[in-house]
Amino acid sequence: MTYRHVASLGIWAFLLAAASTVQAQGFPGSPLALSHGVEREGAARYRDPPVNTAGRYIVISLEKHTLSLMEGERVIWSTAVGTGRGTRLEGAGQKWDFSTPRGMFRVLRKEKNPVWNVPDWAFVQRGEPIPPDDSPKRIEKGMLGTTALYLEEGIAIHGTNFPELLGQSVSAGCIRMTNEMARVLYHEVGVGTPVIIY
pLDDT band at 21 (very low <50, low <70, confident <90, very high): very low
pLDDT digits (tens, 9 = 90+) for 150-161: 998 789 999 998
Domains of the chain: 3-197 (2.40.440.10)
**Rounded CA separation 152/168 (Å):** 22
pLDDT digits (tens, 9 = 90+) for 102-122: 999 999 999 999 999 999 999
Question: What is the DSSP track for the chain?
Answer: --HHHHHHH-HHHHHHHHHHHHHHTT-TTSEEE-TTS-EEE------SS---TTSEEEEEETTTTEEEEEETTEEEEEEE-BEE---EEEETTEEEE--PPPEEEE--EEEES-EEE--HHHHHHHT-PPPPTT-GGGEEESTT-SEEEE-STT-EEEEES-GGGTTSEEESS-EEEEHHHHHHHHHH--TT-EEEE-
Amino acid found at 106? R
DSSP conformation class of 30: S
pTM: predicted TM-score of the whole model, two decimal places: 0.75
pLDDT digits (tens, 9 = 90+) for 52-83: 556 899 999 999 999 999 998 899 999 999 99
